[in-house]
Amino acid sequence: MPEFLTVTYAGQPVWLWIAFLSFIALLLWVDLGLLNKKDEAVSPKKSAIMWACFSSLAVAFGFYIYFGYQPDAAYYNEPDNLNAQATIQFATGYLLETALAFDNIFVIGMVFTFFAVPREYQHRVLFWGIIGAIVFRAIFISLGAAIVNEFTWVLYIFAAFLLYTGGKMLLSGSGDDDHMDLNDNPVLKFLKKRMRVTDTIENHNFVVRKPHPVTGKMVLWGTPLLLCVIMVEAVDIIFAVDSVPAIFAVTRDPFIVYTSNIFAILGLRSMYFMLAAAIERFKYLKYGLSLVLVLIGLKIFWNFLLYKELHLVPYLEPQWSLMLTITFLGGAILYSLWKTGGKREAPLG
């Protein structure tokens, strides 16, 4: 093996990072290049199968973390059972990021409605939006890992932010997303002011060649689909403000942070088509998610301040936060389905 592949980056050899990213690239190629290369609406049944496949891959990767991964002890509070700790943290992070994706689904549905994107093109838009999310999450997580592992006290800021965010979600209930008006969005205003954009969607194209309105010369124009992809990416960046601190509150291991994020993001696309028509049936999930954010914030103060610094309390094992996360999210989902059982909502997008 070439020597540069054995160089350590963020606690793991470069070859492991390349292998993981190559695996993700293969999955994306199979998705768009083989299974969904035609422009057609993705049925709830097909999307459910796709989501089950991505979830199964996440579970299989969890087994790799337990049996084959070599955790860097520098990222863990306790020196014993590192693989078990890493596996539990991966599972907790994956569940947390998947739950946070529900908010993305609702907002993405509003973006599709605003741009009047036909259902047969929505998968293509989400595909490229997911690729952007993979790149931007890598940047955010690399910066976050460098900061957190150099200045551990930053975790207290993350914890306070999570307590604030979770408390605000708990008190506000449905949140402010229902009132989002893209007409006033500064990103969209900036793009429209500085780009040539067609009035209508041009098949599945993001850019087209059309005559310049003054010179008549053939020039590139963006289409509403291009604006839609950029807005979907902007949505993910906004949600990353909650997501990245939350996952660093679960684990400081950059490899676990990134892989749990990416597996959740991969499932987002199929989750959208599976749940978009019934997203309102999960209206109480936000309460469960808010409790999880509060729990994770409190866990930081417990394990880092009260246990590690002041030695006042016993260490809170990772499995307890995982069990509470499952309880809060599962309970909120079941309660939502029970309370909204008789309702029928119009699909988003």
Question: Which residues, other chains included, contact 242 with Cβ-Cβ below 8 Å and sequence gap of 6+?
Answer: 100, 165, 293
Residue 345 lies in a domain: no
Query: Span 265-290, mean pLDDT?
Result: 80
Instruction: Identify the residue with better confidence: 252 or 175.
Output: 252
Q: Which one-letter DSSP state was computed for residue 42?
A: P
pTM for this predicted structure:
0.84
Instruction: Identify the residue with better confidence: 175 or 38.
Output: 38
Residue 344 lies in a domain: no
Q: How many CB atoms lie within 10 A of CB 211?
A: 11
C-alpha angle with apex 46: 44 to 49, nearest 5 degrees? 105
pLDDT in tens, 301-325: 998 888 888 889 888 887 888 899 8
Number of domains in the chain: 1
pLDDT at 278 over 70: no
Nearest residue to 257 (alpha-carbon basis) of 115, 137, 113: 137
Residue 127 lies in a domain: yes
Beta strands 207-211 and 218-222 are antiparallel
Q: How far apart are CA 12 and CA 161, in angstroms?
A: 29
Residue 347 lies in a domain: no
Q: Which one-letter DSSP state was computed for residue 183?
A: G
For residues 339 and 280, the answer to whether their CB atoms sit within 8 Å is: no
Residue 346 lies in a domain: no
What torsion do the CA atoms of 298, 301, 302, 306 make, to the nearest 10 degrees? -150
pLDDT in tens, 109-166: 888 988 989 988 988 898 888 888 888 888 888 888 888 888 888 889 988 988 988 8
Residue 56, pLDDT score: 95
Can you give the residue range of the structural domain that contains 67? Answer: 3-339
Q: How many CB atoms lie within 10 A of CB 230?
A: 20
Residue 279 lies in a domain: yes
Which of 32-46, 95-109, 278-292 has the least mean pLDDT? 32-46
Structure-block tokens of residue 228 = 């839609």
How many residues are there in the chain?
349
Residue 225 lies in a domain: yes
Residue 349 lies in a domain: no
pLDDT in tens, 213-267: 888 889 999 999 999 999 988 888 888 877 888 888 889 899 999 999 999 988 8
pLDDT at 180 over 60: no
Question: Mean pLDDT score of the chain, rounded to an integer?
Answer: 85
pLDDT at 182 over 80: no
Residue 222, pLDDT score: 92
Question: Which residues, other chains included, contact 306 with Cβ-Cβ below 8 Å and sequence gap of 6+?
Answer: 312, 313
